[in-house]
Amino acid sequence: MVPNDTTVDGLAEQLMEAVAEDMKELARWLVQHRQGELRTLEDGLRASGHRLLCRLMEESLVQEEEVRREGLHPGCAQCGQETSWLGQRPKRVHLLLGEMVLPRCCYYCAECHTTWAPLDRQLGIDQSGRSPRLVEAMALLGAELPFSPASQRLAQLCGVTVGPSQIEEVTEGIGQTWQQQEMVQMTRAFENHQLPPVENHYPWLVVALDGVMAPYRDGYHEVKVAAIGGVEWVPPEWAEASVAWRYVVHTGDVATLGKLAWLESYRQGLEEAEQVIVLGDGAPWIWHLAEDHWPGGVQILDFYHATQHLWAMGRSLWGEGSCQVAPWVEAAKDRLAGGKVEELLAQWRDLQAQDSEGFAKELNYFTNQRQRMKYDEYRAAGYPIGSGAVESANRHVVGVRVKQAGMRWLEPGIKGVLALRALLRSSQRWSQWWDRQSLPIPLAA
């Protein structure tokens, strides 16, 4: 029943009465400090103002629970059967604003053997009594920072005390929940042909794929990263392109990464994109995925990786530490960028150093990849030639969070943290996802 204005006014007055003492205390404090600096006032207001706001909210919810108590017992949320009244049980609720204690009406379902508080459900608070916005803030900070500094930042910025282990539990658990949802979407798409809605339409899509080593307890393992970029308008020069990036990070097999990345490219308008560009280094798995999922896409070997191979080649030619390596590499780099890979290959084949194992290996690399090194053509068409995107995804989605000194991860933890970071770094993703979840969001184990 929606209360009328008179009832609302009456209830509001009751609220004001209930917090009158707290209000007076706050006013008294303000009078005492009004000659002080703003930072003193702001600190004080944050603490006691938040306390007052929590009290107001608490009182208002208590009023509402009184109404509930008078009403009919609700049916069980799970089976719909009649429930029995257990009484009002208090629960401490943790918010970004502080804490409140709510005496919730509790019911028992004999069929499901569960105790049920409708208010918990209405508010979306989790088992530990945390509010959805607090959970979101914990996950955000845990995705950005190691758990101890994350806990300190939450205290510094919001005045809320949450231990590092709680932040860890929430960050990893929510990250895994999101990852599991993606796996379900992937299975639906690939096994049941149920495709997700298309969210954007871009004239060009760039798919950049790479692997990055991450420290686990039992040594380094490769984590696979896909960056899917929607090019918002097609520029004459790639450097001017405005790109909306979405990231997929997968700690498991290549085939799954490929499917997850395809799913994201589908959401970004793959079916209608005029041009798809796949960027990667020389790793065969990248080009297999490109053939499977983005056939007809322009395959480009990332220029940055190619230059790293030029350095390796130069060192095998001139010897480690030789001052001739750098000028040789610079000259070769210019010609490579100019699309002269066939000329370079012809020249290299004539070189004596073919006896060197290292040189032969690099020559083989360039021979195998030459179809993806038409850099003059790519640049003329306005395509990107360096997978700066995926390189920086490696760094800003994976490296800066999980490769800090002393970090050694276990699979469930790193999987959750990286999934959440990919969500956080992806264009338009974070709030969209949080706002669509039914609450409380379960923490996957």
- Contact residues: Zn ion, CB under 5 A: 76, 78-79, 81, 109, 111-112
**Comparison of 117 and 270: residue with beta carbon closer to Zn ion:** 117
* Residue count (the chain): 445
Cβ proximity to Zn ion, 82 vs 169, nearer residue: 82
Least distance (Å) between residue 210 CB and Zn ion: 50
Of the two residues 76 and 276, which places its CB atom closer to Zn ion in the complex? 76
d(CA 240, CA 112): 60
CA separation (Å) from 404 to 222, 388, 418? Answer: 16, 22, 14
Nearer to Zn ion by C-beta: 111 or 334?
Answer: 111
CA–CA separation, 14 vs 17, rounded Å? 5
For Zn ion, the closer CB: 112 or 183 = 112
b/e burial code for range 88-100 (CB count within 10 A of at least 16 → b): beebebbbbbbbb
Residue with smaller CB distance to Zn ion, 45 or 112: 112
Q: Are 393 and 355 in contact (CB under 8 A)?
A: no
The 84-95 sheet, strands edge to edge: 84-95, 98-109, 114-116
Helices (H), 338-428: 341-349, 357-369, 375-381, 388-393, 400-402, 411-425
Minimal distance in Å, beta carbon 74 to Zn ion?
Answer: 11
Between residues 64 and 82, which has the closer beta carbon with respect to Zn ion? 82
- Token pair 């991450």: residue: 214
CB 108 to Zn ion: min, Å? 9
Give the shortest CB-112-to-Zn ion separation in angstroms. 3
| Minimum separation from the CB atom of position 91 to Zn ion (A) | 20
- Please name which of 118, 4, 17 lies closest in space to residue 59, comparing C-alpha atoms: 17
Nearest to Zn ion of 79, 184 (CB atom): 79
Which tokens is 23 given? 């209000």
CB of 196 to Zn ion, least distance (A): 33
- Minimum gap (Å) between residue 109 Cβ and Zn ion: 3
Which residue spans within 233-369 are E strands per DSSP?
243-250, 275-280, 298-301
Of 79 and 326, the one with the shorter C-beta distance to Zn ion is 79
As measured in angstroms, the least distance from the Cβ of 286 to Zn ion is: 51
Q: Would the CA dihedral through 114, 117, 120, 122 be positive or negative?
A: positive
Task: For Zn ion, give the closer residue by CB, 16 or 79.
Answer: 79
Minimum distance, C-beta of residue 444 to Zn ion, in the bound complex (Å): 24
Cβ contact 186:210 at 8 Å = no
Question: Could you tell me the smallest distance in angstroms from the CB atom of residue 76 to Zn ion?
Answer: 3
Q: Which is closer to Zn ion, CB of 82 or CB of 99?
A: 82
Give the up-direction half-sphere exposure of residue 4: CA atoms within 13 A in the CB hemisphere. Answer: 1
Residue 89 CB, shortest distance to Zn ion, in Å, is 18
Extended beta strands in 8-81, E state = none
Strand 219-231 and strand 243-250: the pairing is antiparallel
Which of helix, strand or coil describes residue 185? helix
Structure tokens at 138: 């914990």
Q: In 124-163, which residue ranges form alpha helices assigned H by DSSP?
A: 132-144, 147-158
Burial class (CB in 10 A: 0-12, 13-18, 19+), 118: middle
Nearest residue relative to Zn ion (C-beta): 76
